Amino acid sequence: MVLTNTESLERKMRSWTTRLDAKKERVSSVRDIVDGVVIPTNRIVEALERLIKPGDRVVLEGNNQKQASFLSQSLVQVNPKKVHDLHMIMSSISRPEHLDIFEEGIARKIDFSYAGPQSLRIAQMIEDGKVELGDLHTYVELYGRLFIDLIPSVALVAADKADRHGNLYTGPNTEETPTLVEAAAFRDGIVIVQVNELVDELPRVDIPSSWIDFVVVADKPYELEPLFTRDPRHITDIQILQAMMVIRGIYEKHGVKSLNHGIGFNTAAIELLLPTYGESLGLKGKICTNWVLNPHPTLIPAIESGWVESVHCFGGELGMEQYVAARRDIFFTGKDGSLRSNRTLAQLAGQYAVDLFIGSTLQMDAYGNSSTVTKGRVAGYGGAPNMGHDPGGRRHSTEAWYNMMTSDDPLARGKKLVVQVAETFQEANKPVFVESLDAISVKDKANLAVAPVMIYGEDVTHVVTEEGIAYLYKTDSSSEKREMIASIAGVTPIGMEHNPKSTERLREKGLIALPEDLGIRRADAKRSLLAAKNIDELVQWSGGLYTPPAKFRSW
Amino acid sequence: MQSAFLFPGQGSQFEGMLHYLPKDPIIKELLDESCEVLNTTIENLHSKESLSTTKAVQQCLLIASVSTYKVFEKEGVVPNYVAGHSVGAFGAATAAGVLTFKDALRLVSLRGELMQSSYNDGYGMAVVLGMDEDRLTEIVKNFYTDEHPIYVSNRNSPTQITLSGSKKGLEHVLNYVKHHGAINASLLNVSTPSHCPLFNDIGDTLLYELNKLDLKRPNIPISSNRNSRLLRNVDDVKEDLAKSICYPVRWYDAVNLLYEKGARLLIEMPPGEVLTKLANQTFQDVRALSISKTGIDDCLYLLSN
């Protein structure tokens, strides 16, 4: 190719460092405020007004658990005349000010994963045109876009401690901080971190100072919620029955060794049945050895009884710090001894490297599509769909994965196990099994491109209710799927379709299993089977290492 | 911790209720003022006989809640948000400085009068427990006739929903839902089909009257009845006060909005504790208290600490 003179001149003239130049300008605009990389606590609003420009893409760390609460409270105080039209990118919209910045005219557009704690407000604000919705994502999907078409100009994140150079210790709740920082830091964006304290020496360096532009000491420690603590007192006999069915009819049957659990009480019941019911079946070492899971307090008895080989965590859990540090063989820990979590990697592991995902749902249609949306609310997805699907890129085989193979085609492959647990009715006599998902009306109301389905029927391999298990992976026929689901859907509208004859046929073909088919007597499903019946007993199992937050203490 | 004050609506009244307000000179003052404006006595207002009329009930509710609020105001304790259920919205708007107490008293008197004179005994309301809004809406649609119109009205919680309209129509629905999944369903002891289109005319009249007044911008954001939004300007408050009577009260959403805004301490003005119980049933980590049960001193203490 021959360049004309003008073209060659243009190429010579063009700057290839516009992003870096702009960054330098912004950084130097706060020179009179900062001390090295440290922004004084009381001047953060002013600093944000200079470092953030109208129209910027801003990643604000609202994680599932950890919240950059000082920075979000500061952002809502900036002058909207100086900072406006921001495009926010947040994995979790959790705090009131995450949406207040839209009411104040500071931000305009949002791309996010999860908005459960603000699901009414965001639905209203989308309807009222106060928020322009980019899209709803799963976690890994949103992290991915940070490196493609949602590259942030500014990242506002939280860590435990920093040193004077800006090296960070993120502590047990690392979560997605490294991912958010990486996307901004290596694309000449500005990274601002709130820390609980500045120290001379860090326990360990989780994020190096060369990725960080500014550090500010927060007025109080970042907000952290104990989302994964389930008090065993609230586990019901029905959940115990379902847990027994899952252990026998799925984990044992397919040899499930690696897995993720949701945060529901029904999976907490499974965790607490391993050392009792699971032990009595002789399953120790054969199932549930390798986990991708937050440090659930309800897993303590299984760990103490020698069931668990390893646990990789998305985030930490309040009160579990000492326990985790004292069980170094089980958890991923740093040289300092404390937990290292990482939501991005845990999500990927949960997607590609485990045998099974199990979660609960509020609604399911006759083909196994499920959703947790409620009308008038926009809650988004979080991470369940990442783990709750069969990743087409998987190539390695495990016993459970291989066990899902249903054809002898020479190219046949296995499948990730995706299990949905539900009781046939939820609160207010609302049937879980329905003809049409509420997700469809939410799509229309909030003007979404696609209906917010949490787990698609094509990915679901098993459905478990208090009536029995449907082994959906065994059929490709949608009419047979419908029959299978109907036969375990109780007296819901879908359930009323089933007839005893077809149920018998499905049982004989092994397409569904009732508790008695699995050797489970309903009368045996009692709370006395739980390895710990309350938080206090979890503390005892942990030898006093688990220190539950006050709200979970009943003694 | 952010706080919200809740102002109760019809159903919380009881005979002699104005005797059970906190002992404070400012309350006495407001009671006297009320008697003067209405040209009546306290005994006449809250006697069993007068509380059988919608008008007196609404007057008493406004007097009880606003006079108690004035004590907080005097102590310099101001909540982050206010919300009122149905006629309670007038108390909330008065607390937020939109209306004067006198204007509010005249308006609720008019509102009560219009409500009680518009329909005969053949109309009323019912409450259904344990059945969700969608299902109930479907059922109500099936039983609706022009002769016996019925509507789904207030969404008090996901499992407590009221119906309004012709009593005959309501009885048909109650009979049906009792056998189709509702935990409980019964007629309410009112003869006004509130919060449905049957009261459209009253909504128009109230708006006309409100338009004559010099209203002020709310100095506390108000969570609204009709669409559960936070109201920050006069026109929106006006619209909500006037039209709430012909639209469902979306109470659950109105309180849920305050919860999402960060309110965790909810204090219910007198009389009663209907809204407190609802809040405690629906939200796990809120602290909901009523002045009637907890007493004003403890509530003042909690709010100022």
Interface confidence, given as ipTM, is: 0.94
B41 within 8 A of B18, measured Cβ to Cβ:
no
Q: In chain A, which residues touch B (CB < 8 A)?
A: 95-96, 117-121, 124, 128, 375-376, 427-430, 551
Identified catalytic residue from B195, B223, B224, B244:
B195
Structure tokens at A367: 């083909």
pLDDT at A3: 65
A124/B228 Cβ within 8 A: yes
Scored b (16 or more CB within 10 A) or e, B84-105 reads bbbbbbbbbbbbbebbebebbb
Task: State whether A375 and B134 contact (CB < 8 Å).
Answer: yes
Chain A contact for B182, CB < 8 A? yes
Please give the structure tokens belonging to residue A199.
């120290």
Beta carbons of A280 and A259 less than 8 angstroms apart: no
What was the pLDDT predicted at A447? 83
Please give the Cα distance from B192 to B165 (Å, whole number). Answer: 8
Query: Which residue, A247, A239, A271, A467, is CA-closest to A360?
Result: A239
- Of A196, A224, A226, A264, nearest to A62 by C-alpha is A224
Divide the 555 residues of chain A into consecutive groups of 10 and give the mean pLDDT of each group: 71 90 98 97 98 98 92 98 98 96 97 95 94 95 98 98 98 95 98 98 97 98 91 96 98 98 94 98 98 98 98 96 98 96 97 96 93 87 94 97 96 97 85 92 86 95 97 95 95 88 95 98 97 98 96 77
pLDDT, one tens digit per residue, over B2-29 is 999 999 999 999 999 999 999 999 999 9
Q: What percent of chain B has pLDDT over 90?
A: 93
Full-prediction pTM beyond 0.80?
Answer: yes
CB of B264 less than 8 A from some CB of A: no
pLDDT of residue A228: 92
Q: Which residues pair with B165 in a beta bridge?
A: B124, B150
Place of tokens 């209710």: A465
Q: Is the minimum CB–CB distance between B134 and chain A shorter than 8 Å?
A: yes
The Cα B72–Cα B52 span in angstroms is: 30
Looking from the CA of B270 toward its CB, the CA atoms found within 13 Å total 27
Cβ atoms within 10 Å, residue A526: 10
Q: How far apart are the C-alpha atoms of B274 and A538, rounded to whole Å?
A: 38
Q: Do B260 and A118 touch (CB under 8 A)?
A: yes
Query: Quick one: pLDDT at residue A519?
Result: 97
Average pLDDT over residues B93-111: 98
Q: Given this model, what pLDDT does residue A430 score?
A: 83
Cβ distance of A128 and B260 shorter than 8 Å: no
Q: Is pLDDT above 70 for B99?
A: yes
- Whether B235 has a pLDDT exceeding 90, the answer reads yes
What average pLDDT does chain B have? 96
Under the banding of pLDDT at 50, 70 and 90, the label for residue B37 is: very high
CA distance A34 to chain B (A): 32
B195 is catalytic: yes
- Continuous segment of H or E residues that includes residue A310: strand A310-312
| Chain A contact for B228 (CB, 8 A cutoff) | yes
Inter-chain touch B256–A428, beta carbons under 8 Å:
no
Kindly report the backbone phi and psi dihedral angles of residue B59, in degrees, each rounded to the nearest multiple of 5, phi listed first.
-65, -50
- Chain length of chain B: 305
State whether B132 and A118 contact (CB < 8 Å): no
Look up residue A265 and give its two tokens: 């009480």
Chain A residues in contact with B134 (beta carbon < 8 A): 375
pLDDT (0 to 100) of residue A551: 86
For residue range B243-253, list pLDDT tens digits in order: 999 999 999 99
- Res A267: pLDDT: 96
What distance lies between CA A301 and its chain's CA centroid? 24
> Using CB atoms, which residue from B181, B182, B256 is nearest to A120?
B256
From the list B130, B133, B257, which residue is nearest A429 (CB)?
Answer: B130
